[in-house]
């Protein structure tokens, strides 16, 4: 699905444009992905992992634009992509109400409120779509800043995958599994999943 383009202000007085990516952005998206993975150890993938091909990235953009429970948002300043986030739904009938969320922000743009704006944009979109009731994400347990942001937005810890990732430089790190209930209807508190 598409997000109507809009400008948002940041803590430093700067402005970025939020919008959905288009197929014409594929090469810039790959450049962004390569840059952000070089800047941080807090992503769930490594600089050693291969980047998607141009065609794979093009297909990913198409899915995000066409999927009924998918939305991708980029933040750009001029010609530079400075952040990317999105939710993607499942094709499985029993998980059709769930979306997975991912977010990344270039190092120079962290601490300006951009991550919060992007997260709020995605959460608002999910709340506006009745078919989405649960937003899930995975976060490296020692990424305290990100985990604090997610909790401040209402995400709750649901579990932990012990030593789920192994960084090349610092070794094993746990993954926190977090979720946010955004829908109406029957939820876990009503006994869903229990017999």
- Mean pLDDT for 174-187 is 85
Residue 46 binned pLDDT confidence (cut-offs 50, 70, 90): confident
Secondary structure class of 92 (helix, strand, coil): coil
Domains of the chain, residue spans: 6-184
The pLDDT value recorded for residue 113 is 97
The DSSP bridge partners found for residue 159 are 177
Q: Kindly tell me if the per-residue pLDDT of 26 is higher than 70.
A: yes
The phi and psi torsions of 25 (rounded to 5 degrees) equal -90, 0
Tokens of 84: 């990317």
Superfamily of domain 6-184: Gcn5-related N-acetyltransferase (GNAT) (3.40.630.30)
Location of structure tokens 């991708």: 72
Q: How far is CA 122 from CA 47, 61, 66, 160, 168, in A?
A: 26, 16, 16, 24, 31
Q: How far apart are CA 98 and CA 135, in angstroms?
A: 6
Q: Mean pLDDT score of the chain, rounded to an integer? A: 91
The pLDDT value recorded for residue 185 is 56
CB contact set of 90 (below 8 Å; sequence gap of 6+): 69, 96, 98, 99, 100
pLDDT digits (tens, 9 = 90+) for 92-128: 899 999 999 999 999 999 999 999 999 999 999 999 9
The pLDDT value recorded for residue 188 is 45
pLDDT digits (tens, 9 = 90+) for 147-172: 999 999 999 999 999 999 999 889 99
Evaluated on CA atoms 106, 107, 112, 116, the torsion sign reads: positive
Q: Kindly tell me if the per-residue pLDDT of 192 is higher than 60.
A: no
């Amino acid at each position: 699905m598409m997000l109507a383009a809009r400008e948002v202000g940041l803590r430093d007085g700067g402005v970025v444009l939020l919008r959905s990516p288009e197929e014409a952005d594929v090469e810039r998206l790959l450049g962004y992905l390569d840059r952000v993975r070089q800047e941080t150890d807090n992503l769930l993938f490594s600089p050693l992992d291969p980047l998607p091909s141009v065609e794979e990235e093009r297909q990913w953009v198409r899915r995000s634009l066409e999927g009924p429970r998918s939305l991708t948002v980029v933040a750009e300043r001029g010609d530079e992509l400075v952040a990317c986030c999105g939710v993607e739904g499942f094709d499985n009938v029993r998980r059709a109400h769930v979306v997975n969320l991912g977010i990344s922000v270039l190092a120079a743009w962290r601490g300006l409120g951009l991550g919060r704006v992007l997260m709020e944009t995605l959460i608002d979109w999910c709340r506006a779509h009745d078919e989405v009731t649960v937003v899930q994400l995975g976060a490296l347990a020692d990424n305290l800043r990100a985990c604090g942001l997610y909790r401040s937005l209402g995400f709750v810890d649901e579990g932990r995958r012990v030593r789920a990732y192994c960084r090349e430089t610092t070794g094993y790190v746990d993954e926190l599994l977090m979720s946010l209930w955004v829908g109406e209807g029957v939820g876990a508190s009503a006994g869903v999943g229990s017999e």
